[in-house]
Copies of this chain bind each other. A is one copy, B any other.
Amino acid sequence: MKLLYHPDQADIHLSTVLDALSDPIRLLIVSELHNVGERACGDINVPVVKSTASHHIRTLRESGIVNVRVQGTQRLVSMRTEDLNIRFPGLLPSILEAFKNSEEKRKLMNPQ
């Protein structure tokens, strides 16, 4: 059983979080997790191969944005909403709202 690194709430840093959320694919993952709650890695709908998705989920986990727990062969991913709201009040809601109507989202959902 592998143990997965998650930073403590106090070790979640602003620039790291902003960097993690500056990637459209990761914004899409965060948006989906926010809407549906917990999801297995493979059930998150993203337009990249699984190894790339794995990399993005790791980035989100190591920056403190998501929690990952192991259940059988699956990894269940969920937002660390509470920790983020305590650490950076208002940040996540404003980003989620902005992403809803963003060109980033449109482009990812309407592949040419």
Give the interface of A toward B (CB within 8 A).
13-16, 18-19, 21-24, 27, 87-91, 93-95, 97-99, 102-104
Q: Kindly list the 10 A-B residue pairs having the minimum CB-CB distance in the complex, ordered from nearest.
A: A19-B22, A90-B94, A18-B22, A91-B94, A88-B98, A14-B98, A14-B102, A18-B18, A15-B22, A15-B104
**A62: shortest Cβ distance to chain B, in Å?**
15
User: Are B15's CB and A18's CB within 8 A?
Assistant: no
Instruction: Pick the residue among B15, B91, B104 that contacts A13 (CB under 8 A).
Output: B104
Assess whether B88 is in contact with A90, with CB atoms less than 8 Å apart. no
Q: Is the CB of B95 within 8 A of A89?
A: no
Supplied contacts A14-B102, A18-B19, 15 more A-B pairs, CB within 8 Å? A14-B27, A14-B104, A15-B22, A15-B27, A18-B21, A22-B22, A87-B98, A88-B95, A88-B97, A89-B97, A90-B90, A90-B94, A90-B97, A91-B91, A91-B95
